[in-house]
Amino acid sequence: MNHATPSQPPEMTYAIESKGLTKRFGNSIAVNQLDLAIPKGCIYGFLGPNGCGKSTTIRLLTGLLVPSEGEVSILGAPLAGHEESLKNRIGYMTQKFSLYDNLTVRENLNFVGAIYGFSGRRKKARIEELLSLYDLEQQAKQFAGSMSGGQKQRLALACATLHSPELLFLDEPTSAVDPENRREFWERLFDLSSTGTTILVSTHYMDEAERCHALAIMEQGHKRADGSPQMLMDTMPAAVVEIRGDQLRQLKQRLTEQKQILSAAQIGSNLRILVKKDVTDPLAFIQQFSADREIALTRPSLEDVFVTSTGGRHVG
Partner 1 sequence: MWVRILAVFIKELKQLSRDRMTFGMIVMIPLVQLMLFGYAINTDARHIPVGLVDLSQTAESRALEQAVTATQSVNFVARYRSIKDAETALTRGDIKAFLYLPPDMTRRLFGHPRYDAKQTDSPLTRPVGQWIVDGSDTVIASTIRALRDMPLNEIADHNTVRPTASFAVVQYYNPEQRTVVNIVPGLVAVILTMTMILFTSAAIVREHEQGNMEFLITTPVSPMELMIGKIAPYILVGLVQVAIILSMGHWVFSVPIQGGLLSLLSGAILFIFASLTLGLVISTIVKTQLQAMQLTIFILLPSILLSGFMFPYDAMPVPAQWIAEALPVTHFMRMIRAIVLRDANIVLLGKDALWLGLFAIGGLIVASLRFKKKLE
**Interface positions with partner 1 (CB under 8 A):** 59, 62-66, 83-84, 87-88, 90-92, 94, 96-103, 107, 110-112, 114-117, 119, 159-160
Residue placing its CB nearer to partner 1 in the complex, 69 or 101: 101
Residue 295, number of CB atoms within 10 A of its CB: 19
**Choice between 118 and 285, CB closer to partner 1:** 118
Residues near 159 by Cβ (< 8 Å), separated by ≥ 6? 93, 99, 108, 109, 112
* DSSP conformation class of 42: -
Burial classification of residue 40, based on how many CB atoms lie within 10 Å of its CB (0-12 exposed, 13-18 middle, 19 or more buried): middle
For partner 1, the closer of residues 22 and 270 by Cβ is: 22
Q: Residue 29 is inside which H or E element, if any?
A: strand 28-39
**Beta carbon of residue 186, minimum distance to partner 1 (angstroms, whole number):** 22
Spatial separation of the C-alpha atoms in residues 250 and 26, rounded to whole Å? 44
Between 43 and 159, CB nearer to partner 1: 159
Contact present, 11 and 72 (Cβ < 8 Å): no
**Residue 96 Cβ, how far from partner 1 at the closest point, in Å?**
4
Taking the least distance from each CB to partner 1, the nearer of 83 and 242 is 83
CB atoms within 10 A of CB 46: 27
Specify whether the CB–CB gap between 271 and 286 falls below 8 A: no
Query: CB of 20 within 8 A of CB of 72?
Result: no
Distance between CA atoms of residues 258 and 246, nearest Å:
20
From the number of C-beta atoms within 10 Å of its C-beta (0-12, 13-18, 19+), residue 120 rates as exposed
* C-beta of 169 vs 306, nearer to partner 1: 169
Minimum gap (Å) between residue 87 Cβ and partner 1: 5
User: C-beta of 103: minimal distance to partner 1 in Å?
Assistant: 6
100 vs 289, beta carbon nearer partner 1 = 100
